[in-house]
């Protein structure tokens, strides 16, 4: 659920999306498959995801470097899922690539 | 709901959290108050937030620069809310500060 104990600097892909009203077919299965597939990619560090009851969601995947993100973006099966997402599943999305410079965890007082 | 049309580079504060089972008192009101208050701060660019039915949530706030983030972190009322969050509201959280280098939006094909 949490991506824990990662040591900056590393990279985050922040994907915010609003699900379309229709088009539930295969969405959950594909989202789970993409999370499982991402976890097999070189440079993958973790993933966090939450979607509310109105269909607005944020998924953040964490990566060692920009090259890892490029490889994940270029993965064939991921590309096919992205195409379906654009066509069927998302009313709107924003995707941002960011470099994490510092991180803290709590409330236990751990930090990295 | 979406933070749209922001021009990189800018900064993201990624706050992932698991709500505690108890302690709902004032949480929603305080979370809304913090979002409203953040929006009045210099350098604020937007906020996105989603929490699922299991109490896991991700809030990403966007800022012009690191100085804006420092000022928001140092805001007295925000500090009081953070203290209550640590004490009452969150079982665990991860907070990351990241610099957004590039961004895309869809599925309309807009990008920045």
The answer to whether the beta carbons of residues A62 and A46 sit under 8 Å apart is yes
Tokens 């699922």 locate to: B52
Is pLDDT of A96 > 60? Answer: yes
Q: What's the pLDDT score for residue B21? A: 83
In the numeric block, which tokens belong to residue A68? 């890892």
ipTM of predicted assembly, 2 dp:
0.93
pLDDT in tens, B38-70: 999 999 999 999 999 999 999 999 999 999 999
pLDDT in tens, B89-108: 999 999 999 999 999 999 97
pTM: 0.94
Q: For chain B, say whether A4 makes contact (Cβ under 8 Å).
A: yes
* Dist. CA A97–CA A102, nearest whole Å: 15
Q: What percent of chain A has pLDDT over 70?
A: 96
Tokens 């009452």 locate to: B88
Cβ-defined contact of B58 to A56 (cutoff 8 Å): no
The pLDDT-based confidence of B112 (bands split at 50, 70, 90) is very low
pLDDT in tens, A52-64: 999 999 999 999 9
Is pLDDT of A28 > 70? Answer: yes
Q: What is the mean pLDDT of chain B?
A: 93
The pLDDT-based confidence of B22 (bands split at 50, 70, 90) is confident
Q: What does the DSSP assignment read for B34-100?
A: HHHHHTTSTTEEEEEEEE-TTSEEEEEEEESSHHHHHHHHH-HHHHHHHHHIIIIIEEEEEEEEEEE
* Dist. CA B41–CA A32, nearest whole Å: 38
Pairing label, strands A56-63, B10-19: unpaired
Q: For chain B, say whether A96 makes contact (Cβ under 8 Å).
A: yes
Taking only residues 45 to 74 of chain B, the set having a beta carbon closer than 8 angstroms to any beta carbon of chain A reads: 48-53, 56-58, 60
Cβ-defined contact of A106 to B95 (cutoff 8 Å): yes
* Dist. CA B112–CA A26, nearest whole Å: 30
Q: Which residues of B touch A97 (CB under 8 A)?
A: 100-103
Which residue, among A105, A107, A110, A99, has the nearest Cα to A8 in the 3D structure?
Answer: A99
Q: Which residues of B touch A60 (CB under 8 A)?
A: 14, 16, 58, 60
């Amino acid at each position: 659920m949490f991506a824990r104990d990662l040591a900056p600097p590393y990279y985050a892909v922040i994907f915010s999306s609003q699900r379309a009203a229709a088009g539930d077919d295969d969405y959950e299965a594909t989202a789970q498959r993409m999370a499982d597939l991402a976890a097999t990619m070189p440079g993958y560090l973790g993933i966090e995801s939450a979607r509310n009851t109105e269909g607005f969601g944020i998924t953040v995947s964490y990566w060692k470097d920009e090259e890892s993100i490029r490889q994940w973006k270029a993965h064939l099966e991921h590309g096919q899922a992205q195409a379906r997402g654009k066509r069927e599943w998302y009313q709107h999305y924003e995707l941002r690539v960011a470099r994490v410079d510092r991180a803290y965890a709590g409330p236990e007082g751990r930090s990295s």
